[in-house]
């Protein structure tokens, strides 16, 4: 049981990803050897999901300084800063990217006494450690959150928060993997997640690989399955959680949260502490990525609207904390008031 999918790994001197734009039709691995290739992969959502984007950023930074020729520390730091700034322009919303880049830069700053070759080795080791840590953290999220899942539960989820979005277990799907491992008979309803279909292309694919019962629904069917009593709990991930518990996640999450409240269904967010941005008092300050209009005008490359129709395409929305029953982290479940409970988890 569980999942063996590794969407991000270090292999033969390259950063190997599953190209998520090719799923579910083909399982294609891509080996990325430069910071430019990593940035392109993040931007195009070949590698996606907040924790996986963070890991990609760390490897991208290493790849961007790997061939630095000199041994002068000052020049090396300047190069690392430049590459980090460049990678930071790939996608703005998931805080994990900035968290990972900051962690790598801190390592470089703390290694000032070492030869440049040794700093490079330390950077690679740190990026590899991030994968291992993510695997352990998501496993812990799964175990913590599994207490919320009873035998026979119907679970609705939005977007993809599983192995594909992380080092291995996933966040919201991590809870589902652990609950299934515990022998609970669960059934997942996966929102299709327009415009890029992470739910129908990715979540259904990976749950089917793991043998977990899943039903795909179009986004506009969530209210109906809730009204029919098929959903006992909603589990979603997060790209950034503010100090007050407001959180950004894939566009459409806000609508699901409002529906869950209307139908009296518990609504939980599963996220590692690295997704919590205590510098933001509320969700108002979370930068929301806007993506190209053609993602909405087309589907799988085919036009589904007049080619020149005006489009608004925000990739994420912000759900206010009042809709959130609890936030599942690797260190425990935070309940309102989040200013206090999240601060305790982050500090502790």
Q: What amino acid positions are annotated as catalytic residues?
A: 239
Q: Give buried/exposed letters for 232-269 (b at 16+ CB in 10 A, else e).
A: bbbbbbbbbbbbbbbbbbbbbbbbbbebbbebebebbb
CB-wise, 38 or 107, nearer to ligand MRU? 38
Name the minimum Å distance from CB 152 to ligand MRU.
25
Find the distance separating the first CA and the last CA of the chain, reported in whole Å: 32
Name the minimum Å distance from CB 96 to ligand MRU.
8
Which of these, 149, 140, 143, 171, lies nearest to 236 by C-alpha position?
Answer: 171
Q: Is 249 in the site for ligand MRU (CB under 6 A)?
A: yes
CB-wise, 219 or 239, nearer to ligand MRU? 239
Q: What Cα–Cα distance (Å) separates residue 187 from each residue in 20, 208, 266, 319?
A: 24, 12, 16, 25
Applying CB under 6 A, the site for ligand MRU has a residue count of 19
Q: Which of 48, 139, 201, 297 binds ligand MRU (CB under 6 A)?
A: 48
Q: What Cα–Cα distance (Å) separates residue 212 from each residue in 179, 198, 200, 208, 256?
A: 10, 17, 15, 6, 22
Contact (CB, 8 A) for 309 and 250: no
Rounded to an integer, what distance in angstroms lies between the CA atom of residue 211 and that of residue 168? 16
CA 232 from chain centre, in angstroms, equals 23
Q: Is 176 in the site for ligand MRU (CB under 6 A)?
A: no
Residue list 262-321, contact with ligand MRU (CB under 6 A): 315
CB-wise, 30 or 122, nearer to ligand MRU? 30
Residue list 71-100, contact with ligand MRU (CB under 6 A): 94
Residue list 196-215, contact with ligand MRU (CB under 6 A): 198
Q: Who contacts 264 (Cβ-Cβ below 8 Å, separation ≥6)?
A: none
Name the minimum Å distance from CB 234 to ligand MRU.
12
Name the minimum Å distance from CB 164 to ligand MRU.
9
Residues 297, 46, 250, 193: is their CA dihedral positive or negative? Answer: positive
Which stretches of 147-245 are DSSP H helices?
A: 172-181, 198, 204-209, 222-227
Q: Contact region for ligand MRU (CB under 6 A) — 67-75, 119-127, 159-167, 318-326?
A: 159-167
Name the minimum Å distance from CB 49 to ligand MRU.
4
Which of these, 200, 336, 220, 316, lies nearest to 268 by C-alpha position?
Answer: 336
CB-wise, 123 or 148, nearer to ligand MRU? 148
Q: Contact region for ligand MRU (CB under 6 A) — 30-38, 44-52, 178-186, 297-305?
A: 44-52
Q: Which of 237, 245, 252, 283 binds ligand MRU (CB under 6 A)?
A: 237
The dihedral region occupied by 328, where left means phi > 0, alpha psi between -120 and 50, and beta the remainder, is: beta
Q: Is 243 in the site for ligand MRU (CB under 6 A)?
A: no
Contact (CB, 8 A) for 145 and 178: yes
CB-wise, 91 or 120, nearer to ligand MRU? 91
Q: Is 32 in the site for ligand MRU (CB under 6 A)?
A: no
By the criterion CB under 6 A, which residues form the site for ligand MRU? 45, 48-51, 94, 159, 161, 165-166, 170-171, 198, 237-239, 249-250, 315
């Amino acid at each position: 049981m569980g999942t063996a999918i590794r969407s991000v790994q270090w292999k033969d001197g390259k950063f190997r990803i599953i190209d998520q734009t090719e799923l579910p039709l083909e399982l294609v691995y891509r080996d990325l050897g430069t910071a430019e290739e990593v940035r392109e992969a993040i931007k195009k959502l070949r590698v996606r999901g907040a924790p996986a984007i963070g890991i990609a950023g760390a490897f991208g930074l290493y790849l961007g300084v790997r061939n630095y020729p000199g041994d002068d520390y000052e020049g090396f730091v300047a190069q690392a800063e430049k590459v980090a700034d460049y990678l930071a322009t790939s996608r703005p919303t998931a805080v994990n990217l900035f968290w990972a880049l900051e962690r790598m830069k801190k390592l470089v700053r703390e290694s000032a006494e070492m030869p440049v070759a040794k700093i490079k080795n330390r950077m690679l080791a740190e990026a590899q450690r991030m994968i291992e840590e993510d695997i352990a953290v998501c496993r812990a999220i799964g175990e913590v959150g599994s207490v919320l899942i009873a035998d026979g539960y119907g679970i609705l989820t939005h977007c993809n928060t599983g192995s594909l979005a992380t080092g291995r277990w996933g966040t919201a799907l991590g809870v589902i993997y652990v609950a299934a491992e515990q022998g609970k008979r669960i059934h997942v309803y996966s929102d299709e997640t327009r415009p890029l279909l992470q739910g129908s292309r990715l979540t259904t694919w990976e749950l089917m690989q793991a043998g977990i019962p899943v039903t795909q629904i179009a986004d506009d069917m969530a209210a109906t399955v809730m009204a029919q009593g098929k959903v006992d709990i909603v589990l979603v991930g997060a790209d950034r959680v503010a100090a007050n518990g407001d959180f950004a996640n894939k566009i459409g999450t806000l609508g699901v949260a409002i529906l869950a409240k209307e139908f009296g269904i518990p609504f939980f967010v599963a996220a590692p502490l690295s997704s919590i941005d205590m510098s933001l008092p509320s969700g108002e300050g979370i930068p929301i990525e806007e993506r190209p209009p053609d993602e909405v005008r087309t589907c799988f490359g085919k036009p589904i609207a007049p080619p020149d129709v005006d489009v608004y395409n925000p990739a994420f929305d912000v759900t206010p904390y009042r809709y959130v029953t609890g936030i599942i982290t690797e260190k425990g479940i935070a309940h309102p008031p989040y200013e206090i409970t999240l601060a305790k988890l982050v500090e502790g």
